[in-house]
Structure 1
Amino acid sequence: MDKSPHMDGCLSVTAQAFMDSFSLSDTQLGKHAPTNKLLYAKDIPKFKQEVKAYYRQIREQPPITRDEFHNFLREESKKHENEFNEGAALRELYKTIRRYFAEVTAKLEEDGAPAEVREQLQRVSETFEGRRSCAWMSSN
C-alpha cells in the first residue's frame, strides 16, 4: 500500500503506542524523549491495564477442544477463500527472488544444501524472468 510521508509518520506513532502498550517494561521519559512518545505518554498506563485485563480474560476462559479449534479455522478459511490474490503473491515472490537470489544461493551453498535445491531455485528464477510480460507481472 502506498502511503504519503505524512501518513507513514502517523502510522509510526500509532505503532509505537501499540508497542509501548504491550511492553512489559515501563519507559521513563525525560525532556530528551522522542516527541512521538510524549504525545501519548499519559495514555500508556491505561492502555497497559487494558492489555493486562484482556490477557487475564483469555487466561480465565475454559480451553477449547481440538474439534472446536478445527471448526473455527475451517469457518475462517471459508470466509476468506476468495480473498487470496495470486498475482500479487507471485509478484512479491518474484521481487524477493530477484532481490535476494545471490544471498540465498550463497547461503544454500554455505550450508551444504544439495545441488538439486540450488538448481531448483535457479529454475524458479528463470521461470519468473521468462514471464516478466505476464498479466500478473505487469499489474499492480
Structure 2
Amino acid sequence: DQALKHGIKDPEVVHIWKSNALPLRFWVNLIKNPNFVFDIYKSNIIDSCLSVVAQTLMESCSKSEHRLETTSKLLYTKDIPAYKDMVEKYYSHIKQMPKVSHGQLNVMLAKKFQLHNSVLKTDLIFFELYKYAFKYNDQIIEDLDKNSLSQKEGLAEKARECFGALANLPQSTIFPN
C-alpha cells in the first residue's frame, strides 16, 4: 500500500524495501551481534559462524541471482532458492493479512507489556526512551509535522504535549537515582 501511495510500481523495488525494512536492518544485525541483546561473549569463531548465517539471510532476501563468492554461498548454495521462495511466501502472507488499527496495536502491546512486566525494568526503559526523545525532540516534532500520516493522527501535537508535560516534572521524577 505504501509503495502505491508513493507511486512505486516496480515489484523489485518494493521487495528490496521490504527486505531492508525488517529482515536486513533488524534480524541481520541481531544475528551478527547477539551481544546487543544477551550478555554473552562472542568469539571470533562464533562471529564467523554468525556472519555465515546472516549472509545467507541477506542472500535469501535478495532478488538477484547469487554468485559463489562467500563462504555462506558455498555452504548454503543449494538451499538459497528454497529460502528465496520462503521469503516470497512470507511477504505474500503479510500482504494478505488484515490491517491493524492503532487501537488494536495499543491493546496488543498493553497485553504483552502486562505479560512480561515482571521481567522488564520499566523505569529504566522509560528513562532511556526519555533521554533519546528529549535529545531529539525538535527533530522528532519537525518530522512528525512533515509526515502526512502523522498529521492526520495529530502526532506532532501529542508529542509537544508529552514533551511539555515531561519538561514540567521535577528531575527526580524522571531520572532514576
Task: Give the whole-Å Cα distance in 2 for the aligned partners of 1:49 and 1:25.
Answer: 13
Partner residue of 1:72 out of 95, 99, 108? 108
- Whether the aligned pair in 1 keeps the contact of 2:66 and 2:73 (CA below 8 Å) is no
Match of 2:99 in 1: 63
**Alignment partners' CA distance in 2, 1:8 and 1:85:** 31
TM-score, structure 1 normalization: 0.52
Would the alpha carbon gap of residues 20 and 86 (structure 1) be closer, same or farther in structure 2, given more than 3 Å must change?
farther
Structure 2 stretches lacking a partner, 5+ long:
1-39, 128-177
The Cα shift of 1:66 comes to 2.4
Gaps of 5+ in 1: 91-140
Structure 2 matches for 1:97-116, cutoff 5 A?
none
- Taking only aligned residues, the RMSD between alpha carbons, in angstroms, comes to 2.3
Paired position in structure 1 for 2:75: 39
Matched, 1:28 2:67: yes
1:83 maps to a residue whose letter is L
* Higher normalized contact order (CA 8 Å, seq sep 6+, divided by chain length): 1
Q: Report the TM-score, using the length of structure 2 for normalisation.
A: 0.42
Which 4+ runs in 1 deviate beyond 4 A? none
